[in-house]
Amino acid sequence: MAFQTAIHGFETTVYDISDEVLEKAKAKFEGLAESHKKDLGATEEQITKARERLHYSSDLAFAVKDADLLIEAVPEDIKIKTEFYKQLSAIAPEKTIFVSNSSTLLPSQFAEVTGRPAQYLNLHFANQIWLRNTAEIMPHPGTDEKISEEIVDFSKAIGMVPILVKKEVPGYVLNSLLNPFLNAGMQLWIGDYATPETIDKTWMLGTGSPYGPMALYDIIGLTTPYNIYKLQVEKGKTDDKIVLDKLKSTFIDQNKLGISTGEGFYKYPNPSWQSPDF
* 35 has catalytic annotation: no
Q: Are the beta carbons of 110 and 100 closer than 8 angstroms?
A: yes
Catalytic pick among 108, 155, 175, 227: 175
Question: Helix, strand, coil % (nearest 5) of the chain?
Answer: 50, 15, 35
Among residues 125, 121, 114, 123, which one has the least CA distance to residue 92?
A: 114
Query: How many other CB atoms are found less than 10 A from the CB of residue 169?
Result: 12
- State yes or no: is 103 an active-site residue: yes
What single-letter amino acid sits at 173?
V
Count the Cβ atoms, other than its own, within 10 Å of residue 49: 14
φ/ψ region of 82 (left if φ > 0, alpha if ψ in -120 to 50, else beta) reads alpha
How many C-beta atoms surround the C-beta of residue 141 within 10 A? 10
Q: What is the pLDDT of residues 100-122, one digit of tens each?
A: 999 889 999 999 999 999 999 99
Sign for the pseudo-dihedral over CA of 174, 180, 181, 185: positive
Which of the residues 103, 108, 122, 155 is marked catalytic?
103
Annotated catalytic residue: which of 72, 76, 136, 263?
136
Tens of pLDDT, residue by residue over 19-67, are 999 999 998 899 999 999 999 999 999 999 999 999 999 999 999 999 9
175 catalytically annotated: yes
The answer to whether 51 and 7 are in contact (CB under 8 A) is no
Tell me phi and psi for residue 102, to 5 degrees. Answer: -55, 135
List per-residue pLDDT tens for the chain, 278 residues long: 999 999 999 999 999 999 999 999 998 899 999 999 999 999 999 999 999 999 999 999 999 999 999 999 998 889 999 999 999 999 999 999 999 999 889 999 999 999 999 999 999 998 889 999 999 999 999 999 999 999 999 999 999 999 999 999 988 999 899 999 999 999 999 999 999 999 999 999 999 999 999 999 999 999 989 988 998 899 899 999 999 999 999 999 999 999 999 999 999 999 999 999 99
Report the C-alpha gap between 266 and 162 in whole angstroms: 32
Instruction: Indicate which residue of 72, 124, 155, 227 is catalytic.
Output: 124
Supply the pLDDT for residue 75.
Answer: 86
One-letter identity of residue 191: G
* Catalytic annotation present for 136: yes
Q: Determine contact, residues 161/173, Cβ cutoff 8 Å.
A: no
Report which secondary-structure segment, H or E, holds 71: strand 69-72
